[in-house]
Structure 1
Amino acid sequence: MATFRGLAALALILTFSSCCYLTTPTSATPDSDGFLQCLLGNIPSGLIYTQGASNFTDVLASSVHNPRVYTGDMVRPLCIVTATDASHVQAAVRCGRAHGVRVRVRSGGHDYEGLSYRSLQQGDVFGVVDLAGIRAITVGSDAVWPLAPTAWVESGATLGELYYTVAKNNSEVAFPAGICPTIGVGGHFSGGGIGMLMRKFGLSIDNILDAKLVNADGDLVDRAAMGEDLFWAIRGGGGGNFGIVVSWKVSLVKVPSTVTAFNIVRTVDQGAIDVLTRWQEVGPTLPFDINMRVIIMGQQVTFQSLYLGKCSDVVPMLSNLFPELGMTGGDCLEMTWLQSVVFFNSWNPNAPVESLLSRGTSLSTFTKNKSDYVRRAIAKDDWNKIFPWFAMDGAGMIILEPHGGFIDTIPASATPYPHRSGVLYNIQYITFWPWGNDGSAATSWINNFYDFMGQYVCKNPRVAYVNYRDLDIGVNTVVNDVTTFDGGKVWGEKYFAGNFRRLAAVKAAVDPTDFFRSEQSIPPLVQ
């Protein structure tokens, strides 16, 4: 067995119990003192940080990557439980239920709106369960191809740690997930998991076999105990909605010993708009072994690609299928799959693979993100209208992630992630500004540009990706201490389309009193 553990992590106790759910509502008035005393009676005191602790702020900021949602008028948690064992998670949930204090959960801090560690409701009393200390990765070595090996990965592990561990165990083994290595797997898997391998192997959620979840009773259950409806919901229905997943069993995938990566840059003066217009038709229909995404910033377009094979094969392929790109052998960078992960994150082909193990954060750059999906290619004349936006004051960038390939073969109802067949690509809008800048130009740009792009993207409803969470598309309405279904539909159908109602039905079955709640949590569908 190959095992990775953080220094602070202890062994996860895999205790199973029956699946039954509390029907008694949390108390109307939170008992903060009782909650804290309950925690101290069941969890080592050194793992609990209250607001009065001298290092509370440091712990709260320890995995925050976006100071926009960390600074300012945010409602902070009553305490943070830095769990190192599943039993600590169970205790936090049970203490919360007993004393009317809800808990939120975070695994890596890449929460675009910070809902895993802050509230927008003044006076809200809640605790945070931080899973960064539950991060073991155990890779099975007994499987022989064509039988796929598997791994158990705990939710506080980062993608970088997962990639490094599986590839160091076997250089021809990988897992399909996102580009940024500091993302915690818990939140990433919960929302879907877009990445460079998705056209070949699907999203992260398409490769999850089992999970261990602390439910609304505080019981630790696996797939068999939680049932298939709940197992369906946690694979793409968004983090922190149905319970706290402490670990995931994933199916690993086979990659060649040599892959090819490249960045091809074209400016508008070099015909970038023509190439981009053609890419919309080619990118989603290329062979499954290649993923070519697009990054647009300023008057420059970068075509960033991973091919699961050698340069000698991909150059003639693209010369035939996408001659407009003008790729040559000089554009190729042959490397291992693990090296390609580092390259796509850092853009440095010489960066060491050990950099994937860094969990460092920075509060120097503020960001705001939005997302869209495109099913009909945008015409060249319309791209000519779009590009001046990237020359404006406060302009950010967009990333286009092609779909197609294996993603298209999976029905929209198979997982909560509905953006499957017929989707050409996802758009992520990003704007950023430095500490000390009020961000008014940047936020004005992204809001106005998003409104402008509405004419070219999916609409009725205009859809979005839950892992690029955006509170601008709607927040929950709470009546009698329970989130309303109709209020949740405003934003929920944009993330989940026709799957939203089923998610709400699962929520009603497993958490009818809405214990796991945030401003964009799935509401229980009360019949």
Structure 2
Amino acid sequence: MAFSCSSILLLLLVLLSASWATSTSIQEDFIQCLDDNSEHVIPIFTVCAQTNSSFTSILNSTAQNLRCLMPSVPKPEFIFTPLNESHVQAAVICAKKLGIHLRFRSGGHDYEGLSYASQIETPFIMLDLARLRAINVDIDDNSAWVQAGATVGEVYYRISENSKTHGFPAGLCSSLGIGGHITGGAYGSMMRKYGLGADNVLDARIVDVNGKILDRAAMGEDFFWAIRGGGGASFGIILAWKIKLVPVPETVTVFTVPKTLEQGATKILYRWQQVADKLDEDLFIRVILQASKAGQKGERTVTTAYNALFLGDAERLLQVMNQSFPELGLTQKDCIETSWIKSVLYIAGFPSETPPEVLLEGKSLFKNYFKAKSDFVQQPIPETGLEGLWKRLLEEDSPLMIWNPYGGMMANISESAIPFPHRKGNLFKIQYVTSWFEGSKEANTKHMDWIRGVYDYMGAYVPSSPRAAYVNYRDLDLGMNHNTNSSFSEASVWGAKYFKGNFERLVKVKSKVDPDNFFRHEQSIPAVLDEA
């Protein structure tokens, strides 16, 4: 059975057309290609085809959005889970040689499922980097090498295992795959102090279109610039990042203060918009907006929860808040002093007594159908605008908005330092999310229509030239490539929203390092230098 399954898997790897299914020579060529190009044997358990009983569980293991797993969405013919760098090299070399479309994932959090689903090209295969998760921390050098399949939670834990006064400024969700996360920028609760995860990368290892492993010196500065914020899966397969560790105090403080409409949420949120980007850079206060039942009568209301990390003790935090944002009414009893690693658990939403070791499990806190969008805000939304927003939130079953503050280091880094351009001038970023648990066409239509309606409503309160978006919150509503050779003009529709003035430089890098557009998906950077 094992030999038969392996043979089927290797056959599926070469399904470029219907004729492949019966072409023994193509199958043999691919097997020989793997043997010739991998330094290590490829075990049977690392490959799995749709016909294998384990296929669905492997495909679904880290996929977050059930909307991208619906029966109507094309699935990979084959999943390959490499065990080492040589396996990844062999997969790229052989896929290119035989003309096979290749997709790859490190964590599965991409909002439109572009790493494990394809809307423009089938058949395709998927590389799952989940087994490439080694982490080597060097406290003396203030750095760490982290493989692409490691989660940010694992990275945080391994850093804390070596030092109580070191950290890394990346994502708030602990199950994010570090490989793809940094390719989009990597937001986190220390961004106002240290910038993004991508701002704190020292080196990288990547498999290029020729199957070669390149580090920073070998790839050159333009290539290295592009992969730190230029979006995942356009330039090559990230194997590992060398990240710069940052200092954190032994004691940090966290808090969550909820305010409902009945408690003056509208005026407090309007005030937050005026001060959030100007607060002490040690203080990060995001706002989580939800519609929920409240009070004895159980009537629905909007709750705004102020969720914060302060890089210092409660005494200094209260001084900062009393001076800069007294309207929130923060008190000593709201403040929880803790270690940096436990603040990671708090911000990620784990119960208070959860041990840090849970971060090693790499499991997501949720898996449902969802749709998300994003905006950047440069002027406070007036109270009348907020009141109109409340009406729309109350119309939806499970709406969620997260407002992340800017300012601090985010305002001090140039828009062109890395491809991520959303810097000075922004007050905060909005993430819109709606989620549901029924996979019917009617449910999808209902919730998708709702979030698009809210997004349209908010258009009056955000910049429009362009109306910017965050690439790690992939949104195919913004536009997409409709074939394997998208034009510059077609791609710039969505590219300008994600990358603003950096899009053209990304296209130039892509055209140089992957001129035949081997690495591609619905919103990958196009290789069209002549048009750019």
TM-score by length of 1: 0.90
Q: After alignment, is 193-202 or 96-105 more displaced?
A: 96-105
Which of 490, 493, 515 does residue 493 from structure 2 map onto? 490
Q: Hey, what does 2:371 align to over in structure 1?
A: 368
Cα shift at 1:44: 3.0
| 1:243–1:422 Cα change, 3 Å | same
Provide the secondary structure at the position in 2 that maps to 1:482.
coil
Do 1:155 and 1:186's aligned partners in 2 also have CA atoms closer than 8 Å?
A: yes
**Runs of at least 5 residues in structure 2 that lack an aligned partner in the other structure:** 1-15, 292-301
Output the amino acid matched with 1:459: S
Output the amino acid matched with 2:57: D
CA distance in 2, matches of 1:415, 1:361: 29
Q: Hey, what does 1:474 align to over in structure 2?
A: 479
Do 1:277 and 1:378's aligned partners in 2 also have CA atoms closer than 8 Å?
A: yes
Q: Hey, what does 2:211 align to over in structure 1?
A: 218
Output the amino acid matched with 1:334: E
Cα shift at 1:160: 0.6
Q: Hey, what does 1:354 align to over in structure 2?
A: 357
CA distance in 2, matches of 1:59, 1:39: 25
Q: Would you say 1:382 and 2:380 are equivalent positions?
A: no
CA distance in 2, matches of 1:29, 1:223: 41
Do 1:176 and 1:202's aligned partners in 2 also have CA atoms closer than 8 Å?
A: yes
Q: Hey, what does 1:9 align to over in structure 2?
A: none
Do 1:393 and 1:441's aligned partners in 2 also have CA atoms closer than 8 Å?
A: no
Q: Hey, what does 1:94 align to over in structure 2?
A: 93
Provide the secondary structure at the position in 2 that maps to 1:360.
coil
Provide the secondary structure at the position in 2 that maps to 1:454.
helix
Provide the secondary structure at the position in 1 that maps to 2:464.
coil
Q: Would you say 1:203 and 2:196 are equivalent positions?
A: yes
Q: Hey, what does 2:525 align to over in structure 1?
A: 522
Q: Would you say 1:504 and 2:507 are equivalent positions?
A: yes
Output the amino acid matched with 1:111: D
| 1:486–1:100 Cα change, 3 Å | same
| 1:168–1:491 Cα change, 3 Å | same
CA distance in 2, matches of 1:262, 1:512: 49
Output the amino acid matched with 2:31: Q
Q: Would you say 1:103 and 2:106 are equivalent positions?
A: no
CA deviation string 1:244-267 (max 9, x = no partner): 010000000110000000001111
Q: Hey, what does 1:20 align to over in structure 2?
A: none
Q: Hey, what does 1:126 align to over in structure 2?
A: 124
Cα shift at 1:185: 0.4
Cα shift at 1:431: 0.4
CA deviation string 1:114-149 (max 9, x = no partner): 100111136x12221111000000001334xxxxx1
- Write out aligned runs for 1:318-357 (5 A): 318-346=321-349, 348-357=351-360
CA distance in 1, matches of 2:261, 2:493: 38
Output the amino acid matched with 2:462: V
- Write out aligned runs for 1:5-16 (5 A): none
- Write out aligned runs for 1:24-35 (5 A): 33-34=26-27
Q: Would you say 1:137 and 2:135 are equivalent positions?
A: yes
| 1:261–1:523 Cα change, 3 Å | same
CA distance in 2, matches of 1:395, 1:141: 43
Q: Hey, what does 2:174 align to over in structure 1?
A: 181
| 1:133–1:118 Cα change, 3 Å | same
- Write out aligned runs for 1:286-435 (5 A): 286-298=279-291, 299-346=302-349, 348-361=351-364, 365-435=368-438
Q: Hey, what does 2:31 align to over in structure 1?
A: 37
Q: After alignment, is 303-312 or 389-398 more displaced?
A: 389-398
- Write out aligned runs for 1:443-454 (5 A): 443-454=448-459
Do 1:75 and 1:121's aligned partners in 2 also have CA atoms closer than 8 Å?
A: no
Identity in percent = 44
CA distance in 1, matches of 2:73, 2:476: 14
CA distance in 1, matches of 2:53, 2:303: 47
Cα shift at 1:345: 1.1
CA distance in 2, matches of 1:184, 1:318: 34
Q: Would you say 1:460 and 2:482 are equivalent positions?
A: no
Q: Hey, what does 1:279 align to over in structure 2?
A: 272
TM-score by length of 2: 0.90
| 1:509–1:436 Cα change, 3 Å | closer
Do 2:253 and 2:309's aligned partners in 1 also have CA atoms closer than 8 Å?
A: yes
CA distance in 2, matches of 1:422, 1:347: 33
CA deviation string 1:47-90 (max 9, x = no partner): 12122222122211111111111113111112111011011110
Cα shift at 1:407: 1.0
RMSD: 1.8
Provide the secondary structure at the position in 2 that maps to 1:514.
coil
CA deviation string 1:123-178 (max 9, x = no partner): x12221111000000001334xxxxx100000000011000000111011100011
Do 1:264 and 1:327's aligned partners in 2 also have CA atoms closer than 8 Å?
A: yes
| 1:207–1:327 Cα change, 3 Å | same
CA distance in 2, matches of 1:30, 1:198: 52
Provide the secondary structure at the position in 2 that maps to 1:301.
strand
Cα shift at 1:46: 2.6
Do 2:280 and 2:320's aligned partners in 1 also have CA atoms closer than 8 Å?
A: no
